[in-house]
Structure 1
Amino acid sequence: MHIPYRPIALSLVAMIFSGIFLARAQAGGGHYFAPVSDPVVREECGSCHLAFPPSMLPASSWKRMMGELDKHFGTDASVSPATAEHITRYLSENAADTGGQRYGSKLMRGVSVQNPPLRITELPKWVREHREISSKGWLRNNVRTKANCLACHADAERGYYDE
């Protein structure tokens, strides 16, 4: 009895490829970062800018940032101590090097653990992904700052940063 190995092999390859492709699509591709799910964090951080996914920075960056809210990138973003503690805990527990590893590990490649950046825009992968944008491009009225992800990534609030 002759068993048709070639069609079986091709079917297996197709199934494996489909499984990999579908798993990647389900996770949002290579540019998905689980969005902020905590309502306090969404409200407090999102009142001034996009509430950035905690998996975009390591826990030490979030802790340092939250400890300096009185000079948060040139603005006083102070909140009550209880609120600051709540936000810090959420960000730290879901950071790129803790609970958010599934999403954030891709951004952490090449990041110094001794001196991680406070700005997502200083991460090596972020810099590589955005290197084609000219300095004039950042100054356009609808962009204005590198931290304005929503200017180019319409689904950033849902965690999707594909173009």
Structure 2
Amino acid sequence: MFHRPRLDVRRGLCGLIASLGLGTAALADDDQRADRLPLLPTYRQECAACHVVYPPGMLPAASWRRLMTQLPRHYGTDASLDPATVKELSAWLVAHAGTSRRVREEPAEDRITRSAWFIRQHDEVSAATWKLPAVKSAANCAACHAQAEKGDFNEHDVHIPR
């Protein structure tokens, strides 16, 4: 049996999606939109002092809760904040945490770089690249993602240092 009209409808929908600038991944993954969430000024102020402010959609709520309760031992650094700031940041991070299938699992040590989706996205990056002086570690997103400070991690804007 020949189903040509159904194929034409699919092509039309794909064309419409492409013309609107939407990828099928963006439609399927709620966290894509969360990655473009305007950052809470307190989050930018407190967290960007030491590292890239990761979009809250990169981790599940449980990971953010643990991270915010462990600030005195934040990956070997004392990142303690006053209780009111911790409460504000925790509420915002949990409210905007990742919920898609891709982010739902809690990564080892609550590290974004240890999450399955991160590892899949970076599987073509060699071990030697992570050790380059300009990169130093997988947590240094800005080394390759020129727009990381804006929360944009589009793979089309990646420039891996040599």
**TM-score normalised to structure 1 length:** 0.76
**Superposed counterparts of 1:7-156, under 5 Å:** 12-21=9-18, 22-24=21-23, 32=32, 33-97=35-99, 101=100, 105-108=101-104, 111=105, 117-156=109-148
CA distance in structure 2 between the aligned counterparts of 1:60 and 1:84, rounded to whole angstroms: 15
- Structure number with bigger Rg: 1
CA shift, 1:57, in A, is 0.5
Deviation of 1:28 after TM superposition, in Å, equals 10
Runs of 4+ in 1 over 6 A off after TM superposition: 8-11, 28-31
- 1:117–1:123 CA contact under 8 A, matched in 2: no
Higher relative contact order (CA 8 A, sep 6+): 1
**3-state DSSP of counterpart to 2:86:** helix
Aligned length: 147
Per the alignment, residue 3 of structure 1 pairs with none
RMSD: 2.8
Structure 2 unaligned regions, length at least 5: none
> What letter is aligned with 2:47?
C
Change (3 A) 1:28 1:137: farther
Structure 2 distance, partners of 1:19, 1:63, is 40
User: Unaligned 5+ residue runs, structure 1?
Assistant: 1-5
Distance in 2 between the 1:43 and 1:143 partners? 23
Report the TM-score, using the length of structure 2 for normalisation.
Answer: 0.76
Task: Give the letter aligned to residue 121 of structure 1.
Answer: T
**TM-aligned CA distance change 1:40 to 1:9, over 3 Å:** same
